[in-house]
Amino acid sequence: MNLGVECIWTFSVEQGRLPVADILSAEVLGVKRLAVLVCAPGPMADDVRREVVAKVGAGAMIDYHEDSFAW
């Protein structure tokens, strides 16, 4: 049974933080709906949440789920 769900994502960062805005911009293209799941320290989760809100404000349909932790 094909549920229309696809999860293919690879990304490599040698140093620094993930380019969250670039990743979300690329992922929202060509999909009807996107799920973003975050498990990260507070500041990084804040960055992801901020970008998701911006994309939703621009019309993207995104489900957001966050778990948090501290080092």
Task: Choose among 56, 70, 33, 15: nearest CA to 48.
Answer: 56
Within-domain flag for 14: no
Domain membership of residue 9 (yes or no) is no
Domain count for the chain, please give it: 1
Identify the three-state secondary structure at position 26: helix
Inside any domain, residue 25: no
Q: Does a structural domain hold residue 65? A: yes
Q: Is residue 8 domain-resident?
A: no
Residue 11, domain member (yes or no):
no
Nearest to 33 by CA among 5, 61, 7, 59: 61
* 64 within domain boundaries: yes
Domain that holds residue 39: 31-69
- Beta-bridge partners for 63: 35
pLDDT tens for the chain, residues 1 to 71: 556 666 666 667 677 778 889 888 988 987 889 999 998 888 889 999 999 999 999 999 999 999 976 66
Enter the tokens of residue 13. Answer: 């960062």
The one-letter code for the residue type at 25 is S
